[in-house]
Chains A and B, each alone.
Chain A
Amino acid sequence: MRLPRRLLSAVPSLIGIVILTFVLTRLLPGDPAAYFAGPAATPESIEEVRVQLGLDKSIFAQFVDYISALSRLDLGRSLSSGQTVVDDLTARLPATLELTVSALLLAAILGIALGFGAALRPGRWPDRLCDAVTVFGQAMPTFFLGLLLVYVFYYKLEWAPAPMGRLEIFYSSPTEVTGFWTIDTLLEGDIGAFQGVIRQLILPVITLALFGLGPIASMTRTSLLQVLGGDSVRTARAFGLSSRKVLWTYAFLPAAVPILNTIGMVLSFLLGANVLVEKVFGWPGVGAYAIEALLVSDFAPVQGFVLLMAVTYVVVNLCIDLLAAAIDPRARTDG
């Protein structure tokens, strides 16, 4: 009963996303027809390109074209790569996912650990550390942090490899099974390449994770402090339950839903921050692809990218809601 209803509630968001991506890309500055006709184009040839691209039609007609193509899962063709946008995105999505998921995992684990420490020792050093890391992560723009890390660890210390993609060129890329190269290299039993993949991942993952860490840590701290100071934890203590039981079952579980929701929110930050971080680290993901397309007013890939990210966001939040309902009966809204 619950699952179908929650799934249905995602439909309006999806419709909104479809409309918004269309409008947004039409509002972007620049004339794609002029760009693709080339610098030597005459006004006549620009017009010709415009008709070819269907950009001469009314906005409404363009929208109808867009919707009917979308229903066939056709996101159009990238004018710069010549490939269909669906193919381009499919080829690049695993790189982005591997980066984002790794960063989210690291941010969640570190954030929850920091928040835990801070909540258990309020006002003491774990709390200060939590504060410091949160402020640092929030104050530092991701692309700048990325550049800083590259400067220090690649250029100065030479600990990190060149920020050029998922694997240095002297390794052979693994055959894609999952698309996550950490897993694919292991499946092939190529330990050298696996270590290479990890080395490439470290700096961009740290960049993104530091950015996402703050909200998770502070929400863990706040939520846990509230439960720890509450009556149910007092009861659990009064009845002599072990501190581990009190902490995990009676404090962390009721505090988990706000933390989960924050993780969902952080994921959306990361999907946005990805665009710049991929650019800095030469990461062949969908973010770098979108920003390159954006610079040349190539509508279709940008549209496809925004749509993909939005759908990812909706799907992830759906999963988080379902998980929250599984953990906490108060998060079950039916009834």
Chain B
Amino acid sequence: MTPDWTKNLVEARNLNIRFGSTPVVDDISLDLPKGRITALVGESGSGKSLVAHSIAGILTPAARLEADRLSFAGVDLRDTKSPGWRDLRGRQIAIIFQNPRAALSPVRRVGQQIGDVIARHRGLKGAELSRAVVEALGAVGIVDPEARQNAYTGELSGGMCQRVMIALALACNPRLLIADEPTTGLDNTTQAAILDLVVDQIRARDMSCLLITHDLALAREYADDICVMHAGQIVEKADSARIFTASQHPYTHALLKASASQADSIASLEPIKGSLPDLNGPLPACRFANRCPRAEERCHSAKPPVSGPDTARVNCWNPLP
């Protein structure tokens, strides 16, 4: 099946991911429109990386994926073995990871690794290929790409490895970049430089981006839309500005009060009560119900309804006004 670029880039309907009998991602639906940066925000263990991996086709074999629909520009992503899907990965969907040093091969020069991907998808060879590699490295602000292409990851800093990873991801001009906690292992200055680079490149190339992060402040700064996950469920999706001024879901609200960038002082920080529910045990229909100050009887027994326009959707029985 050939891609249909008039459609949403990614459409996921009732996506479930299980490990054995543990429902880690529960019935989420998510659209990634063209040309926008969507942040998927949640605590560790909320399932946000699994959602990203299911789109990139790299779910661990132990995970079972079920979905009514999971497609990229109309191409079904559920069958990872299909040739149409293979041609998309790396070519139209690229991913960068939290730990770039581990994500790149330690025994292959970084230029060769980028060359492998370009050769696979753009069919370049010889001098053309090496020119494209140097170009890709130069595009992400690597100084002296001619020399750096011969380095191994062991010879580069963490920030430099992430730049190489980004060069690899952008080498074939994909339509979608999935950034899975791209700056978690980096110091603050490098973090900003890397994200600025990613966002500049996405805007310049008219790409879409799915940014996976646990950091709400970072999501607001860089993303157009923010989608909040809790324990494998999407609780709220809205414009990034609106989330901060008019969050509707009690979890988002609590998350904001618990984040340092929103608080006036340390004393005004309010930790969220309880912890993520044990996914192996019996779960309430809304998985936040046991931690929620606004919870009602039905929150435990029935799936919360989805309400609101596309720019401010919330999955809650009792949203904040």
A positions within 8 Å CB-CB of B: 230-232, 234-242, 245, 249-250, 253-254, 327-330
Instruction: Report yes or no: A237 in contact with B58, Cβ–Cβ below 8 A.
Output: yes
B95's nearest neighbour on chain A, judged by CB, is: A238
In the complex, chain B residues whose CB is within 8 Å of the CB of A328: 106-107
Instruction: Report yes or no: B97 in contact with A231, Cβ–Cβ below 8 A.
Output: yes
In the complex, chain A residues whose CB is within 8 Å of the CB of B56: 238
**B103 proximal to A (CB < 8 A):** yes
- Distance A327 CA – B154 CA, assembled complex (angstroms): 14
B positions within 8 Å CB-CB of A: 56-58, 86-91, 94-95, 97, 99, 102-108, 116-117, 120-121, 152, 154-155, 168
B102's nearest neighbour on chain A, judged by CB, is: A231
B97's nearest neighbour on chain A, judged by CB, is: A231
A243's nearest neighbour on chain B, judged by CB, is: B86
With A234-B58, A245-B116, A329-B154 already in contact, the answer to whether A240 and B91 are too (CB < 8 A) is yes
**Pick from A234, A239, A329: contact of B168, CB under 8 Å:** A239
Offer 11 A-B interface pairs, CB within 8 angstroms, sorted by A: A235-B95, A235-B104, A238-B58, A238-B89, A239-B94, A240-B87, A240-B88, A240-B117, A245-B120, A253-B107, A328-B107
In the complex, chain B residues whose CB is within 8 Å of the CB of A238: 56-58, 89-90, 94-95
In the complex, chain B residues whose CB is within 8 Å of the CB of A242: 120
Instruction: Report yes or no: A241 in contact with B90, Cβ–Cβ below 8 A.
Output: yes
In the complex, chain B residues whose CB is within 8 Å of the CB of A231: 97, 99, 102-103
Instruction: Report yes or no: B57 in contact with A230, Cβ–Cβ below 8 A.
Output: no
Instruction: Report yes or no: B154 in contact with A241, Cβ–Cβ below 8 A.
Output: no
A253's nearest neighbour on chain B, judged by CB, is: B107
Instruction: Report yes or no: B105 in contact with A241, Cβ–Cβ below 8 A.
Output: no
A256's nearest neighbour on chain B, judged by CB, is: B107
In the complex, chain A residues whose CB is within 8 Å of the CB of B102: 230-232
With A238-B56, A240-B87 already in contact, the answer to whether A254 and B120 are too (CB < 8 A) is no
A234's nearest neighbour on chain B, judged by CB, is: B58
Instruction: Report yes or no: A239 in contact with B108, Cβ–Cβ below 8 A.
Output: no
Minimum CB–CB distance for B105 against chain A, Å: 4
Most buried by A among B57, B89, B105, B120: B105
- Distance A329 CA – B57 CA, assembled complex (angstroms): 30
In the complex, chain A residues whose CB is within 8 Å of the CB of B108: 249-250, 253
**Pick from A234, A240, A327, A329: contact of B90, CB under 8 Å:** A240
- Distance A232 CA – B108 CA, assembled complex (angstroms): 11
Minimum CB–CB distance for B23 against chain A, Å: 23
In the complex, chain A residues whose CB is within 8 Å of the CB of B87: 240
- Distance A270 CA – B266 CA, assembled complex (angstroms): 68
Which 6 interchain pairs have the tightest Cβ spacing? A239-B90, A240-B90, A240-B89, A231-B102, A232-B105, A329-B152
B109's nearest neighbour on chain A, judged by CB, is: A329
Instruction: Report yes or no: B116 in contact with A240, Cβ–Cβ below 8 A.
Output: no
Instruction: Report yes or no: A241 in contact with B107, Cβ–Cβ below 8 A.
Output: no
